[in-house]
Structure 1
Amino acid sequence: MAAPRKTATVVGVLYLVTHVTSIAGLALYGPVLHDSGYVLGAGSDGRVLLGAFMEVLLALSVIGTAATLFPVVKRRNEGVALGYLGLRTLEAAVIAVGIVSLLAVVTLRRQATGAGGADAASFAAVGRALVAVHDWTFLLGPDFVLGANTTLIAYLMYRSRLVPRFIAVLGLVGGPLIFASAIAELFGVYQQLSVWGSLTAVPVFAWELTLAVRLIVKGFNSPACAELA
């Protein structure tokens, strides 16, 4: 296994990038997500475009974590490792759909300048539909798909002992929990951006953050790396 310490550092940094860019993107999207009349107003296109750029970086770093980890964890179970790589790629693709939907809102707002009457109502309706697409991708990617791929990689980390097992357990708890939470959100039990939605996301957040710090500071467990070599 070539340069496991460098690989661990790269993976850790990429996980941190996913956290920073996902939070920044959501914050920057605020005006377009919460203003139902965004397409008819002056707009905050610069913020939306910057948010889209943050999410482009997010999608790339999501794939990067899986692609960088794959050569390491495939030695434990190549099938599960491929599943993780495929699901992370799917997660990035769902994120990309959400990006495109909000960029389309920006284009729509520019075309709607000066529109009135029935035209204005039509523009507003299409704008709300595009935001709804983003909202559904936000449920599908960061909840359903993330829950599944977190469970797979946490399982591989637990079996391989590449990191301390308490870190892997965070992922084994957090993955199924956020997946179950996504089911509740899908059927309207509570909103994704709610107290319950936030609480169920805490274990996954803790898993990724703890894993990132561990990999950057100490790397993989050396005995486990030797067994997988």
Structure 2
Amino acid sequence: MNSNKKIARIVGLLFITATVAYSIGVILLDPILSSSDYLTIASENEKQMIMGSFLVLIDAVAVAGIGIMIYPILKKQNEALALGYAGSRIAEGVLFVANVIAILILLALSQEFVKAEAPDTSYYQTFGTILLEAGDLAFLFGFAVAFTISALILNYLLYKSKLVPRWLSGWGFVGALLLWVYYLLEPFSINLLYILFVPIALQEMVFAVWLIVKGFNPSVIDPASASTDTNEI
């Protein structure tokens, strides 16, 4: 039982770590990468680029760690789905690492661009555009596909098993569905569409705190132990 509580707390802390690292990383990187003069700006803000990339890398390690750490708990409910969840989170982490690699190569390219006395602008911009697209694609698959699938699997298993209260897992399942709707509607540039991110973002933080404070439902993880405790009372 103590082992299960430790796993719950570690998973909760990893959820918080991933969210905080990702959020700060995006705040640091997005203004640079979305700029029309990103090659020059990236070179001028090397430390900010490296710090942002490092935070995204922390996020990648944390999300993969969540899948690995929670696998023994979910396995007792449904081994196939538990493996699917762990695999999805690891895939998410790998795709985020690919995103970081593209960003760091872009940083190196920007520095060469600035150093060149008479740079071939079209060459650098073409290569830079390819790197931006590759990084965005890796991030898109990592978040829109791997993360969304993992959230659906996790909250389905939690809801069926009652490892946490059903209002919490149901909230997460609906939040994951809304996130998928976001990515389906994103090409249409609908105003305030980003609001669809809010439910799953809030649910993950509530879920993380719940795991740290309450942990998983012990009667679901070890019914025999729970029955013994009840009889003793």
Q: TM-score, normalised by structure 2?
A: 0.89
Residue 217 (1) aligns with residue 213 (2): yes
Structure 2: distance between partners of 1:54 and 1:171: 25
Say which SS state the counterpart of residue 163 (structure 1) adopts.
Answer: coil
Structure number, greater radius of gyration: 2
Residues 102-136 of structure 1: CA distance to partner in whole angstroms, max 9, x if unpaired? 11111101111243666123212322331222222
- Aligned counterpart, 2:92: 91
C-alpha distance in 1 between matches for 2:45 and 2:31: 7
Counterpart contact for 1:18–1:61, Cα < 8 Å: yes
Q: C-alpha separation between the residues in 1 aligned to 2:184 and 2:90?
A: 21
> Which runs of 5 or more residues in structure 1 are unaligned?
none
Other-structure match for 1:190: 189
- SS for the counterpart of 2:179 is helix
Given the alignment of the two structures, is residue 156 of structure 1 paired with residue 152 of structure 2, yes or no?
no
* Cα 1:183–1:111 shift into 2, 3 Å: same
Structure showing the higher helix proportion among its residues = 2
Cross-structure match for 2:67: 66
Structure 2 unmatched ranges of 5 or more: 226-233
Identify the residue that residue 21 of structure 1 maps to in structure 2. 21
- Percent identity over paired residues: 29
CA contact (8 A) 1:148 1:176 kept: no
The count of corresponding residues between Structure 1 and Structure 2 is 224
SS in 1 for 2:120: helix
Question: Could you tell me how far apart the structure 2 residues matched to 1:111 and 1:29 are?
Answer: 19
Q: Displaced runs of 4+ in structure 1, greater than 3 A?
A: 114-118
Q: How far did residue 138 of structure 1 move?
A: 2.7
- Match of residue 10 from structure 2: 10
Q: Tell me the C-alpha RMSD between the 2 structures.
A: 1.9
Give the corresponding residue for 1:106. Answer: 107
- What displacement does 1:32 show? 2.7
Further displaced range: 87-96 or 125-134? 125-134
What does residue 165 of structure 1 align with? 166
